[in-house]
Amino acid sequence: MKVCGVELKGNDAIICLMSLKDGLYALHECRVKKLTITDDRDNEQLRKFQFDFAKLMQDYQVEHVVIRERMTRGKFVGGSVGFKLEAALQLADDIEVSLISPSKIKDIAKRSHVVMNFSDTGLKQFQEPAFTTAFAYLENL
């Protein structure tokens, strides 16, 4: 199964493509590492963001998108733009989307028998949360 881990941070959707087949994890190259929106009040930009993301998932034959959940209240509350981007992804046609909380990601990583050193992945440092999100989803299947 090929999944796309997503971390929504500010105006960016940071992504990591990963698959699990026959017990082996694989990272997949992608032409973009993040999708950005400059003006969240512009309907056309939101539609373009949604279209670009859906096209990317179609091009790379991603079966499932998993988004790192953000807090809705408290000290680490997510920004309004992030929630707009999340809604745009969840409402895109032909994309199966789920959310996973950071605490659940940590719990799954702690219970996992798979040992991965992020620095060996070749991914950019800013992709680490998207990577751990995708890994946790696949590990929890």
- What is the token pair recorded at 113? 């028998």
- Residue ranges covered by each domain of the chain: 2-139
- What is the token pair recorded at 45? 């930009």
Q: Count other C-beta atoms under 10 Å from residue 93's C-beta.
A: 7
The one-digit pLDDT tens for each residue of the chain (141 residues) are 999 999 999 999 999 999 999 999 999 999 999 999 999 999 999 999 999 999 999 999 999 999 999 988 887 788 889 999 999 999 999 999 999 999 999 999 999 999 888 999 999 999 999 999 999 999 998
CATH 3.40.50.280 corresponds to the domain 2-139 = no
pLDDT at 14: 98
> SS3 letters for the chain?
CEEEEEEEECCEEEEEEEEEECCEEEEECCCCCEEECCCCCCHHHHHHHHHHHHHHHHHCCCCEEEEECCECCCCCECCHHHHHHHHHHHCCCCCCEEEECHHHHHHHHHHCCCCCCHHHCCCCHHHHHHHHHHHHHHHCC
Model pTM?
0.94
